[in-house]
Structure 1
Amino acid sequence: MDSPTVVRALGALAQEHRLAAYRLLVQAGPQGLAAGALSGSLGIAPSSLSFHIAQLANAGLVSQRRNGRSILYAADYAAMGALMGFLTENCCGGQACVPAAACNPPEPKERDVA
């Protein structure tokens, strides 16, 4: 991950609603959350959610997909891992001090997807 990409990602996360939304999406796993559920959990208007999600998507941190009439948002775990890797690559003076942090949630089963 290069510095401009990292700056864009950190800038997108440097806002209270976006950080909260991203954390909820990380917890939700690869199946993601419907826009309405995310908006309700955060207590923000759907139009505000759209704005915040657009910022996260522009930074490459979330994806969206349509499922019927719903839009589902999901965290991009590869991007999250790359960002964490960039932030910790010089940990302990460049020496490996802990195993690399990786979040690889299991893929949802077909019946688990709403």
Structure 2
Amino acid sequence: METNQAITALNALGHPTRLAAFRLLVEAGPAGRMAGDIGGALGVPGATLSFHLKELVNAGLASSEAQGRHVCYRARFDAMNALVAYLTHNCCAGSGDDGCAPGATSTRRC
């Protein structure tokens, strides 16, 4: 992932509604969720939700698939993982300390 892609993704996730929607998509897994279900879970009106989901798609963090009159959204796990890899690249300056890797709990201090 390049810096500009990371900035776009982080900007998209920097809004509470988009972050919540993305987390719902991640939770749903590869099956995804219908837009109406996301809106219901978040209590967000359709037009507002559509704008936010479009931002996630434009940032490459989600994909959409029309299913009749409804739209199913899915998290793009490849993009999510690429963003995490970008953020943790050169973690701990290559010291070999696994304490800074995603999910690790480090007690080491600077």
Normalising by structure 1, report the TM-score.
0.82
Residue 23 of structure 1: aligned partner: 23
Code of the residue aligned with 1:75 in structure 2: it is A
Aligned to 1:32: 32
**1:82 — aligned with what?**
82
Structure 1 partner of 2:51? 51
- With normalisation by structure 2, the TM-score equals 0.85
Secondary structure of the residue that 1:24 maps to in structure 2? Answer: helix
> Which structure ranks higher in relative contact order (CA pairs < 8 Å, sequence separation ≥ 6)?
1
CA-atom RMSD, angstroms? 1.4
Deviates further, 66-75 or 42-51: 66-75
Residue correspondences, number? 100
The structure richer in helix per residue is 2
Structure 1 CA distance for aligned equivalents of residues 96 and 55 of structure 2: 33
How high is the sequence identity, in percent, across the aligned residues? Answer: 47
Letter in 2 for 1:27: E
SS in 2 for 1:60: coil
Q: Structure 1: where are the runs of 5+ without partners?
A: 102-114
Distance 1:11 1:96 in 2: 31
For residue 30 of structure 2, give the secondary structure of its aligned residue in structure 1: coil
Distance 1:96 1:80 in 2: 24
Counterpart in the other structure of 1:71: 71
Q: Which runs of 5 or more structure 2 residues have no equivalent in the other structure?
A: 103-110
* CA offsets 1:8-64 (integer angstroms, 9 cap, x no match): 000000000000000000000011000100000000001001000111111000000
How far does residue 97 in structure 1 lie from its aligned partner after superposition?
Answer: 4.1
